[in-house]
């Protein structure tokens, strides 16, 4: 039973680390897109204002989704720490 639990914890830790890497890539690409948009709209401030006003509901939804991703990211970091401590504790007991 203990061996099975250890495998489950290892699998979950692997999944959490992969998820964290994927979100890191997503956030990096989102940051690049944000910088590109800022550069593009530097010479078009009126167009940016009109577009931002028109897409207020959509931009709010994207912002809430971003906040949710950040929340899940922080929660995942804590889960990685907890799973790592559990594995260390199990290895020390052996």
What is the residue extent of each domain of the chain? 2-93
The Cα 53–Cα 45 span in angstroms is 12
Contact status, residue 20 vs residue 80, Cβ threshold 8 Å: yes
User: In tens digits, what is the pLDDT along the chain, a chain of 94 residues?
Assistant: 677 888 899 999 999 999 999 999 999 999 999 999 999 999 999 999 999 999 999 999 999 999 999 999 999 999 999 999 998 988 888 6
């Amino acid at each position: 039973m203990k061996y099975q639990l250890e495998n489950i914890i290892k699998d979950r830790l692997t999944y959490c680390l992969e998820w964290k890497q994927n979100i890191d890539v997503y956030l990096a690409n989102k940051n690049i897109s944000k910088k590109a948009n800022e550069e593009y709209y530097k010479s078009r401030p009126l167009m940016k204002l009109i577009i931002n006003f028109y897409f207020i509901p959509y931009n709010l939804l994207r912002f809430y989704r971003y906040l949710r991703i950040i929340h899940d990211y922080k929660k995942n970091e804590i889960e990685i720490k907890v799973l790592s401590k559990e594995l260390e504790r199990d290895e020390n007991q052996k």
